[in-house]
């Protein structure tokens, strides 16, 4: 039976938050934001190991106590300038520990509100799939195409459109191959599913909900804090 592993790319700077410190360390209810992603994944008994990919010069991780998550948690100081580079570097770093058919769940450090129910749903729905899948939400709002002056020039059809979330779960060998080809071509991908799509594989979409949102702008922090307080 394949094992399950999780990888959290956390080498970004959080430029859209308008802050100097990395976004993953922003305080949420007294803890760094990345704490919640680490805690959720480490608490899942089906996940054998959790890897956090940090920037090589990251000095903030060591300022916090992570001992509660040992020995399941490992830290890799091999993050890149872009998300896909961090994931690729992380996969290469663990290739001696993970089998080609094992599952890897890539999760954003900036999605602190992932519930145990959604995580289990992803594992249940994708665990028997050949290639992999991801949590996602069907697009409900009307979509507008804007011009350079931010004027709506037309309405786009939302039929069949989904908003991707994480975790995104793929076989280790497939994901490493997809990202290696991407890097070799000098191309980019905004998520793992896009990299896998480039080599001809379709990811399974698992219906999620809006609580598993990504903290992107300062106003998102208050919503995340409220949801986390309600959970406890």
**Lookup result for tokens 């599952």:** 103
| Tens-binned pLDDT, residue by residue, of the chain (232 aa) | 899 999 999 997 655 555 567 899 999 999 999 999 999 999 999 999 999 999 999 999 999 999 999 999 999 999 999 999 999 999 999 999 999 999 999 999 999 999 999 999 999 999 999 999 999 999 999 999 999 999 999 999 999 999 999 999 999 999 999 999 999 999 999 999 999 999 999 999 999 999 999 999 889 999 999 999 998 6
Please say whether the dihedral angle defined by the alpha carbons of residues 218, 163, 198 and 154, taken in this order, is positive or negative.
Answer: negative
**Residue 220's pLDDT is what?**
94
Residues of the domain holding 138: 4-231
Token representation of residue 65: 């106590």
**What is the rounded CA–CA span in Å between residue 232 and residue 221?**
17
**Residue 164's pLDDT is what?**
98
DSSP 194: H
CATH of the domain at 106: 3.90.550.10
**Residue 16's pLDDT is what?**
53
**Residue 22's pLDDT is what?**
85
**Residue 8's pLDDT is what?**
98
Indicate the number of domains in the chain: 1
Please say whether the dihedral angle defined by the alpha carbons of residues 109, 114, 116 and 119, taken in this order, is positive or negative.
Answer: negative
Helix then strand then coil, in percent of the chain rounded to 5, is 35, 25, 40
Partner residues linked to 51 by β-bridges: 7, 74
**What is the rounded CA–CA span in Å between residue 145 and residue 101?**
41
Q: Using alpha carbons, select from 92, 63, 35, 13 the residue that is nearest to residue 228.
A: 35
Q: Is the pTM of this model over 0.75?
A: yes
Residues in CB range of 225: below 8 A, 6 or more apart: 28, 29
């Amino acid at each position: 039976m394949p094992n399950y592993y999780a990888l959290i790319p956390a080498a970004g700077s959080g430029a859209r938050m308008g802050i100097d410190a990395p976004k993953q360390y922003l305080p949420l209810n007294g803890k760094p934001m990345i704490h919640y992603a680490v805690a959720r994944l480490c608490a899942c008994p089906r996940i054998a190991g959790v890897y956090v990919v940090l920037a090589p010069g990251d000095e903030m991780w060591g300022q916090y106590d992570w001992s509660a998550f040992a020995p399941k948690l490992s830290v890799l100081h091999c993050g890149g300038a872009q998300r896909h580079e961090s994931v690729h570097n992380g996969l290469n770093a663990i290739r001696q520990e993970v089998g080609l058919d094992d599952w890897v769940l890539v999760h954003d450090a900036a999605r602190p509100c992932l519930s145990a129910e959604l995580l289990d749903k992803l594992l249940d729905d994708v665990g028997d799939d050949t290639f992999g899948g991801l949590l996602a939400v069907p697009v409900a709002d009307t979509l507008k195409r804007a011009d350079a002056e931010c004027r709506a020039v037309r309405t786009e059809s939302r039929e069949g459109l989904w908003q991707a979330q994480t975790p995104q779960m793929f076989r280790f060998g497939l994901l490493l191959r997809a990202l290696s080809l991407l890097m070799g071509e000098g191309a980019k991908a905004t998520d793992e599913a896009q990299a896998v799509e480039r080599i001809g594989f379709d990811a399974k979409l698992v219906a999620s909900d809006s609580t598993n949102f990504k903290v992107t702008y300062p106003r998102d922090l208050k919503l995340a804090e409220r949801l986390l307080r309600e959970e406890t």
